[in-house]
Structure 1
Amino acid sequence: MNKNIAIIMGGYSSEYQISLKSGNVVFETLAPSKYNAYRIHIFKDKWVYVDTDNNEHPIDKNDFSVTIDHNKITFDCVFNAIHGSPGEDGYMQAYFHLLNIPQTSCNMYQASVTFNKRDCLSILKPYGIKTAESFYLNLGDTVNEDAIIDKVGLPCFVKANKAGSSFGITKVLQKEDLQHAIAVAFKEDDEIIIESFLDGTEVSVGVIKYKGETKVLPITEIVSENDFFDYEAKYLGKSQEITPARLTQTQEDKVNAVAKKVYDILKMTGFSRSEYIFKDGEPHLLEVNTVPGLTKESILPQQAAAAGISLEMLFNNAIEEALKK
């Protein structure tokens, strides 16, 4: 009997449109002979099942079910394709845990920690994971520009602490631009992180649980046409994504080891994609994403393809691993 799979997509953040694209790719890829796939749109004002005629059917949040023509449908597994809140920050993971419904992403604690860049880096630093110098600000804090520059230098990056897809991030070249960059970041989040500029090769490393084992996928080198790997570079073709990356064997071994170590330290499951920049020959961690883009052009699927794993194999494995939990 086919499993009922709810593909959740959308979300409450600026990333909702990217999430809808990812979710629809999953929907189109899952084989109807094996799964009954349902597109579930999660927005602040509505949770709905969207059928093939684009009719909307409300989700009963009490048990995450939907009733169609007087038939109540429940789900065997949830495929999480929500980038940002509430799919990548732990809220949906906690909700499904309480309902005892398996879901494909990591668990609640891992999601909330990795979504908070400051907390994630703080946990990993004692394990020897190298990162950029950083300075933290909360909304309402007094901004001491000199103290920030003394700590992180110029140029630096001002980032929203809990946001993805490079929303709320600015590269600051001179002191007089710092206040504006901070204001931009605070539009996305009430916490920000300001990091030193790392000048070196940037790579993205996918790590997944595949057939019960932690698997590091082929590395992608990021060559942005813009100042950094921003929204345009990620989604509007303003970058080269080279898989496998043009690294020395030593560089490849180092970043593979660090990426696997991060995955294991955090006790991750499901998908992850972490970003690193090489400085003085050593990979420095920027961030960890637990619900990465899943379109055919997205980095993780590119890496999986380079490893001989098709989209269908990748998505089927995610569901199978979730059902084992």
Structure 2
Amino acid sequence: MKHVAIIMGGYSSEYKISLLSGNVVYQSLDRSKYVPYRIHLLKDKWVFVTEDNREFPIDKNDFSVNYLGQKIVFDVVFNAIHGSPGEDGLIQAYLELIHMPHTSCGFYQAALTMNKRDMLSVLKPYGIKTAISYYLNQGDYIDTEAIIQKVGLPCFVKPNKSGSSFGISKAKTTEELLTAIDKAYLEDNEIIIESFLEGTEVSVGVINYRGEIKVLPITEIVSENDFFDYEAKYLGKSQEITPARISDEVAKKIAEIAKKIYIILKMEGFSRSEFILVRDEPFLLEMNTIPGMTNESILPQQARAADITLAELFDNAIVLALEKS
């Protein structure tokens, strides 16, 4: 029996969603193979949370816990933290320093993919199409005329290092652009402003499944709102159609690009990439390396469409993590 620490929570606006994801992993793991533990990593505490919600502090020296007089040492960490420190490389670096196997990608890949503008810059020489973008750091002079000249209106304003659509706005006027910049700065001190791409939004899960890189069935996203924002993503204001209503030829093209990106970035574990299809050409928006793991989340939907249960999906991630340790 392997002792699995399921880390959840985190330090960002996404911590509530992460707790939901982590609890789904906790409920889904095969109890004949694993002893799962819910580990909350929050700004003010790292704790093991029991079934009756008692808390026991984590010893950060070796990521162990003293529980009722017994020291529990984990065999592997299942990473279910969206945002910092689970998706930006911090926890990966810490776990790798203490030689603790974990289910996510390496610290460099996590840091790179969390930083939208750095990731897009790395992929550009490989011919990966992206939106036209303009970058700002907090404190920079905001030249709205130069921004609009480069990316046009409407445009999207996003925090550079954030997930779950927090802080993202669609700006249609100069006034809305300034408001959107202020909103994005509440989430991050770097922002990315991108040209509006008219087309179909799709989400593509790529995983290492039983030792092979596997592209899962593609999901089409139809938002009731102006774009796929937080409400659309988590409060039911969108349709997520798996498999997407696109031709086999276009699906094959997207799958090849998504797999190519996974290989170029030397990814491991889970990934979910977002694209806009403009006249059947995929334009990459971003990549998530710790995608949502609730029953309603996109990647679990895609796994089900590929006849992979949540228990199999999570078991595979743990097996691979242990194999590479």
Aligned to 2:89: 90
* 3-state DSSP of counterpart to 1:40: strand
User: Counterpart in 2 of 1:10?
Assistant: 9
SS in 2 for 1:147: helix
Deviation at 1:176, TM superposition (A): 1.7
Q: Corresponding residue for 2:253?
A: 254
In structure 2, the partner of 1:174 is: 173
In 1: Cα distance, 2:17 partner to 2:146 partner = 37
Runs of 4+ with deviation above 4 angstroms = none
- Match of 1:142? 141
SS at match of 2:285: strand
- Determine the C-alpha separation between the residues in 2 that align with 1:203 and 1:256: 11
Structure 2 residue 168 is the aligned partner of structure 1 residue 162: no
SS of 1:180's partner is: helix
One-letter amino acid matched to 2:233? K
Give the stretch that moved more between structures: 248-257 or 261-270.
Answer: 248-257
Letter in 1 for 2:72: I
> What letter is aligned with 2:106?
N
1: distance between equivalents of 2:122 and 2:130? Answer: 12
Partners of 1:324 and 1:128 in 2: how far apart?
33
Partner in structure 1 of residue 307 of structure 2: 308
What secondary structure does 2:287 align onto?
strand
Instruction: Tell me, in whole angstroms, the C-alpha distance in 1 between the residues paired with 2:281 and 2:30.
Output: 42
Q: Give the whole-Å Cα distance in 2 for the aligned partners of 1:161 and 1:309.
A: 33
**Equivalent-residue separation in structure 2 for 1:163 and 1:16 (angstroms):** 12
**Deviation sequence 1:197-242 (CA, Å, 0-9, x none):** 0000110000000000000000000000000000000000000000
- Is there any run of 5+ residues in structure 2 with no aligned partner, and where? none
What TM-score comes out, normalization by structure 2 length?
0.99
SS at match of 1:123: helix
Give the Cα separation in 2 of the matches to 1:62 and 1:18.
27
Distance 1:209 1:102 in 2: 16
**Aligned counterpart, 1:263:** 262
Q: Note if 1:277 corresponds to 2:246.
A: no
Q: Which amino acid aligns with 2:133?
A: S
Q: What residue number does 2:65 align with?
A: 66
Matched residue of 2:236: which SS? coil
Shift of residue 324, structure 1, vs aligned partner = 1.1
Match of 1:39 in 2: 38
Determine helix, strand or coil for the equivalent of 1:267.
coil
Pairs aligned (count) = 324
Distance in 2 between the 1:174 and 1:248 partners? 35
- What's the counterpart of residue 118 of structure 1? 117
Q: Secondary structure at the match of 2:118?
A: helix
Note the alpha carbon deviations across 1:21-43, whole angstroms, 9 max, x for none. 00000000112111010000001
The CA distance in 1 between the partners of 2:60 and 2:13, in whole Å, is: 23
Residue of structure 2 in register with 1:289 after alignment: 288
Q: Does 1:129 align with 2:100?
A: no
Deviation of 1:147 (Å): 0.4
**RMSD, aligned α-carbons:** 0.5
Q: Summarize deviations over 1:165-218 as a string: whole Å, max 9, x none.
A: 000100001112111100000000000000000000110000000000000000
> What is the Cα deviation at residue 309 of structure 1?
0.2
List per-residue Cα deviations over 1:256-299 (Å, max 9, x = no partner): 01100000000000000000001132100000000000011000
Give the CA deviation at 1:70.
Answer: 1.4
- Say whether 1:27 aligns with 2:26: yes
- For 1:156 and 1:200, locate their aligned partners in 2 and report how far apart those are by CA, in whole Å: 14
- Alignment match, 1:99: 98
Matched, 1:319 2:314: no
Other-structure match for 2:209: 210
| Whole-angstrom distance in 2 between the partners of 1:32 and 1:55 | 21
State how far apart, in whole Å, the 1-side matches of 2:89 and 2:302 are.
25
Secondary structure class of the residue paired with 2:273: strand
Percent of aligned pairs with the same amino acid: 69
Q: Secondary structure at the match of 2:93?
A: helix
Q: How far, CA to CA, are the matches of 2:211 and 2:125 in structure 1?
A: 28
Q: Distance in 1 between matches of 2:276 and 2:74?
A: 40
Query: 2:5, 2:286 → 1: CA distance?
Result: 28
Which residue of structure 2 aligns with residue 245 of structure 1? Answer: 244
Structure 2 Cα separation of the partners of residues 278 and 33 of structure 1: 43
Instruction: Report the CA distance between 1:128 and its aligned residue.
Output: 0.2
Runs of 5+ consecutive residues of structure 1 not aligned to the other structure: none
CA distance in 2, matches of 1:280, 1:206: 22
For 1:46 and 1:250, locate their aligned partners in 2 and report how far apart those are by CA, in whole Å.
Answer: 49
Q: Once the 2 structures are TM-superposed, how far is the Cα of residue 99 of structure 1 from its aligned partner? A: 0.6
